[in-house]
Amino acid sequence: MRFRHPDGSTVHLAYCTNVHAAEQLDGVLRQLTEYAEPVRRRLHRDRLGIGLWLARDAARALTDDPAAVRRLRGGLDRAGLEVVTLNGFPYQGFGDEHVKYRVYRPDWSDDARLDHTTDLARLLAALLPEDVREGSVSTLPLAWRTGFGAEARRRALSRLHTLAARLDALEELTGRSVRVGLEPEPGCTVETTADAVAALTGEDAPPAHRIGVCLDTCHLATAFEDPAAAVARLTGAGLSVVKSQLSAALHAEQPERPEVRSALAEFAEPRFLHQTRTLTPAGALRGTDDLDRALAPGALPTGGPWRSHFHVPLHTPLAPPLAATTPVLRETLGHLVGGPAPLTRHLEVETYTWQALPPSLRPTTRAQLADGLAAELSWTRDLLIDLGLKELP
């Protein structure tokens, strides 16, 4: 979906296809007709943006075969879909029954991550609509925090320098500019916007015109970051918000109450990692790597709210005693695109956890999932219009 900002620029809104499990190219092509096109039709749009997730095997198949790229481009066109952004965070196996810590491998100290991201950038340059010259790729924030020392960090930043040089060469060759955004996430070596500033500024920092930040509003909320301060911190450091993933975290206002803990326990599941955080009275961030660990007696302080990295649907409130951090999303979006000029032009709804929701909230058919995705996009569209943007045909 495209929107005209009051300054005249175009802002793109998409939904991320990492919600659909597909590791091979044929599966990606099926997604277009089985899910993305039905979502577009529900929104009564002639054209819909998708934030495409291409696992390693699918990306490699496309990189090795120009005819396959033409096949994908044709499938997008026939389904009325367009791509201006890719989700390059999950490398492979994101649809597996047990993902957890595996999603952080390979990290940026490994050449495999550099090569995969380079492939994605080259593919995106070939998939961009004819009237679009800029694409974005989100990626993991260097690495998971454990086992990542000074030497690994040096190698990771060196690989980002190499990536930036490759992206410069890509633009010179194709006329298409692709930027990459590190996505701060709880538990990672870059967890907050302050961590992003520390990693992406300084003498060893990669070029800021190519490497910036992907601001995920679920992650921002889970870390209890203030949206205004977070956005000001990034822009003040000269870092660009390459894209923003619009998502909401799970919020428990009174985690000491038995009924709240019981409700939270319904979201503890074996597939994804649900990092959980709280603030101490002194303002220090405390947390666990997963929700089930947080629910263990004494694992986390209960004097203040808890937030868990569980992407919950945007368009419908959760039943009490739980809530979603949609107010953080709204405020962040206002800072990003509600001003005189947009701070990012790529927005992506990223609720990938539909099939991990408690059974009472989980879609059981393709049609129900398409209904939910369309409802999220419609809800987000209304937010953008309220901020003064105009939806384009």
DSSP string, 256-268: TSHHHHHHHHTT-
Residue 279 lies in a domain: no
Residue 316 lies in a domain: no
- The CA-based dihedral angle spanning residues 127, 131, 134, 135, taken in that order and rounded to the nearest 10 degrees: -30
Q: What is the pLDDT of residue 278?
A: 98
Q: What is the pLDDT of residue 375?
A: 98
Residue 313 lies in a domain: no
Pair of tokens at residue 74: 């044709």
Residue 96 lies in a domain: yes
Residue 308 lies in a domain: no
Number of domains forming the structure of the chain: 1
- The angle subtended at Cα 169 by Cα 166 and Cα 173, nearest 5°, is 135
If one counts every other C-beta atom within 10 angstroms of the C-beta of residue 226, the result is 14
Three-state DSSP at 349 gives strand
Residue 283 lies in a domain: no
Q: What is the pLDDT of residue 191?
A: 98
Pair of tokens at residue 350: 């990223």
Residue 271 lies in a domain: no
Q: What is the pLDDT of residue 83?
A: 98
Q: What is the pLDDT of residue 214?
A: 98
Per-residue pLDDT of 284-316, as tens digits, reads 999 999 999 999 999 999 999 999 999 999 999
Residue 161 lies in a domain: yes
Q: What pTM was computed for the model?
A: 0.97
Q: Give first-to-last CA distance, the chain, whole Å.
A: 8
| Residue ranges for the chain with pLDDT beneath 70 | none
Q: What is the pLDDT of residue 31?
A: 96
CATH of the domain at 24: 3.20.20.150
Domain carrying residue 70: 2-249+323-391
